[in-house]
Amino acid sequence: MARAYPFAQVDVFSPEPYRGNPVAVILEADGLEDEAMQRIATWTNLSETTFVLSPTDEAADYRLRIFTPTSELPFAGHPTLGSARAWLENGGVPGTVGAIVQECGAGLVRLRHDGDHLSFAAPPTVRTGPLDDEYLSRVVKAFGLDPAHVIGHQWVDNGPGWAVVQLASAEEVLALSPDFTAFPDAMVGAVGAYPEGSPHAFELRSFAPRVNVFEDPVCGSMNASVAQWLTRAGVAPERYTVSQGQVVGRSGEIAISVDRGQVWVGGATTVLFRGSASV
């Protein structure tokens, strides 16, 4: 017999409803088998579907499992924020006022919440440094770029496998029309700066064909690790915002701040669908 689980679908990283990145959240999901979780995530066909469970670490408020349509991820940004919002609205009470601790495959992730605003502490990267020549050439070819247009590049992997190239302008990032036919396992992005005085400091795009997501509308995990790179390199200030999603009809806005060396990634989170999931 099917069981009903509390369900929410949350729009993340846009102050305008239905213009951010959606995540499906199954709450009180203890008892669901791995196969059922993956089947549900494949069926929702969103970039991520999450399952909120009881924590196994006493320092955590809840445990989160994150699935793409094809596989499980140790960490992802917009699912972290969206799941925290759904957990709070489902009656979740943090152990510490103004703070949430999420347990996930990447370990413990700290979040701040102040009213409607949520942000997460960017987790440590597991791989950094410039891209090797062979990988960079594959990225350049997939993006249809002249290699001279790449002004910087870096592994920015905090779990999903991200790499990024830096272009000279946001305009160049928006103009990309990638072809991943020969690069189906790519997990790669592009970032470029807006002119001084613009509403946002950077435009960022994220492509994840490896997990069957051609372009992620607004990507928290990549913004987190790119922010770690750019602020460490002195290319970005300690507070700035990023625009993402224009090319796919979204209006994402990601707020980056650095507090005593820790990068925080925040944005709007709005529960748009509430109900139950029959599993």
HEC letters along 43-81: HHCCCCEEEEECCCCCCCCEEEEEECCCCEECCCHHHHH
Q: Are strands 21-26 and 49-53 parallel, antiparallel or unpaired?
A: parallel
Strands 213-216 and 188-193: unpaired
Per DSSP, the three-state class of 91 is coil
The yes-or-no answer on residue 48 being catalytic is yes
Using CA atoms, how far apart are residues 167 and 151, in angstroms rounded to an integer?
A: 6
Classify residue 225 by its DSSP letter. H
Burial class (CB in 10 A: 0-12, 13-18, 19+), 58: exposed
Considering 48, 103, 203, 215, which one is annotated as catalytic? 48
CA proximity to 229, closest of 156, 169, 149: 156
Helix (H) or strand (E) holding 279, with range, is none
Residues facing residue 63 across a β-bridge: 53, 103
What span, in angstroms and rounded, lies between the C-alpha atoms of 155 and 165?
Answer: 9
Cα–Cα separations (whole angstroms), residue 204 to 22, 52, 70, 75, 269: 18, 29, 24, 19, 19
- The identity of residue 183, as a single letter, is F
- Per the structure block, which two tokens stand in for 107? 């370990």
Residues that are catalytic: 48
